[in-house]
A and B are shown apart, each in its own frame.
Chain A
Amino acid sequence: MREKDLYKALNNESIRAGILRKWQNISRAVESVIKTYPFVLDYAKEVKIAKMEVSSNYEYWIDKAMRAFENAANRSKSKCYVHYAKNEKDARKIIGEVVRSGKVIVKAKSMVSEEIGLKKFLHELGNEVWETDLGDFIVQLANDRPMHLIAPAIHYSKKQAARILEKVGIRGESVEDLAEGVRGFMREKFLVANVGISGCNAFSAETGRIFLVENEGNIRISTTLPEKYVAIVSIDKMLPSDELCLKSVLVQSAFAGTFPPSYININEPGSQEIHVVFLDNGRKDAPEFAREQLACIRCGRCQTECPVFQMLGNYWGSIYGGPMGLVLSYIITRNIGIEVFLCCLCGKCREVCPMEIDMPSIIRELRKRWFAEKR
């Protein structure tokens, strides 16, 4: 986080306008979802317990999950491979060797791919890389960064989005026209793509299945059409069973305010060449005081509700912004930046988190450690 970026964010009215619009819509939507589908609260509790158990013994669960995928690959007699990356450099190297150069790559929305700097790396290898989620596509064309975990282009108005999409010849005045233009543009890319890349919302250590939840349909196409598919699985996405994975993705979409999700994709070895890349990147040895953050299901609720995030968006933090981002970035990098002091410790993040992660306490501990380090 750079100080000048914070001023840039403060002076950008559309960041505030976008996040506040999302905040109003999502708060009402989540409230209504919980009222209609109260069982998601029970699912959330079960998922939290399971995630804490998995994070207490990642070595065991990584081994179990990798074997589950290998067994599924052997049963299907398909070309499926499992890889382990200790850090982001390892992950880039592995994926670079799988993809090589001269390919058309369609990417599903994935924050973990942002974490490892994948798009730039694959582009430098000589590949054509396309973000296929509408918001991420706008962000890619604008050479910007995703502003929110699940709503990356939240900070662009319709007018700004239209101007950005003109770069690839997509024109339109209404949101309907713009979406239709992107649909046509992306269909051409999907049909010629050699490789599809996604993250993972939940990975079953029981069967080796990859669970992905979405509304646009781009993940289903990106992970089904190309002959080669790469899934990046950060180890905190592992769960002991398919049932818990299903519950986890249902809770994620409920707390994102879009329930039920239009699509649940459950990918497993079969008709494609699949590469699953497990990524540690600091998670396995996370300090005990911050381990609870590894139960996060990335619904983005803590970001939208945070009064500081509402002012600064994702400029507050690194790849993952806002309350969850402060803690997860620390787990990944072990660096404590001055940005931990921007948190106002109001506790709203903890209040709305479906996993009830005590982010304010962890941030308080980060502050103490910052002082100890600087002394």
Chain B
Amino acid sequence: MTEAELDDLLKIFVESLKRNFVNVIFSSNLNADPDSFVSEALSAAADTGIIFFGGFDERKKAALAEHHIAIVRRDVVCRDTVEAYKLAASKSRFIFASSSASKTADIEGKLIWGMHGPRKFTVILEVESEGERPL
């Protein structure tokens, strides 16, 4: 994939994340350690904003965290969800995916965030240089 193609893909990914009501932070330094459960994505789908993670303990922590922060490196963003699944499955035996904070609409169809899982889901997306915004 060329740099220009990758930039286009990141734009689509960010659009998908915004559609999913996900807070996105752009960072060129992924060593930051925010005070929440942080996990690195195995892969991410540009078309849907679905992000794949790996590991059984990671899944447990991601399930119980109040705030799940996903670090997404630019080179793991794939065109679609099937491609992202395959990339994740090539890296880990235990795979799980998230696309937003937990939610429900079980009472009168009213959307409530933070039902049983994380109340917040934030993506830190790697960019090449500080100040770059793929959207």
Q: Taking beta carbons and an 8 Å cutoff, which residues of A are in contact with B? A: 18, 21-22, 25, 36-37, 39, 76, 132-135, 138, 151-153, 156-158, 161, 175-176, 178-179, 182-183, 186-187, 190, 215-218, 220-221, 224-225, 242-243, 246-247, 250, 258-266, 268, 270-271
Contact = CB atoms under 8 A, between A and B. Distances in A.
A268 B96 CA distance: 11
Contacts of B116: 132, 183, 186-187, 190, 216-218, 221
Interface stretch (B3-11, B32-40, B56-64, B127-135): B56-64
Interface of B: 16, 19-20, 47-50, 56-57, 59-60, 62-64, 80-82, 85-86, 89, 93-110, 112, 114-118
7 contacts: A37-B48, A151-B106, A221-B64, A246-B81, A260-B16, A263-B96, A266-B96
Contacts of A76: 93
B96 A216 contact: no
Contacts of B81: 246, 250, 260
Contact of B106 (A133, A176, A243, A262): A133
Contact of A179 (B48, B57, B98, B112): B112
A66 B94 CA distance: 19
Nearest to A246: B85
A282 B80 CA distance: 37
B20 A260 contact: yes
Given A183-B114, A220-B59, A260 B50 contact: yes
Contacts of A250: 48, 81
Most buried by B among A133, A151, A215, A221: A215
Contacts, number: 137
A216 B95 contact: no
Nearest to B50: A260
B85 to A, nearest CB: 5
Contact of B60 (A186, A225, A266): A225
Contacts of B98: 262-263
B63 to A, nearest CB: 4
Most buried by A among B16, B49, B109: B109
A179 B104 contact: yes
Most buried by A among B80, B82, B105, B108: B108
Given A134-B115, A175-B108, A179-B104, A221 B63 contact: yes
A153 B106 contact: yes
A26 to B, nearest CB: 9
Contacts of B110: 158, 175
A175 B112 contact: yes
Given A18-B108, A216-B117, 17 more contacts: A21-B109, A36-B19, A134-B104, A134-B106, A135-B104, A153-B106, A175-B108, A175-B112, A225-B63, A246-B82, A246-B85, A260-B81, A262-B101, A262-B102, A263-B96, A264-B97, A266-B94
Contacts of B80: 39
B102 A268 contact: no
B107 A262 contact: no
Most buried by A among B19, B81, B106: B106
B85 A157 contact: no
A216 to B, nearest CB: 4
A72 to B, nearest CB: 9
A262 B85 contact: no
B66 to A, nearest CB: 11
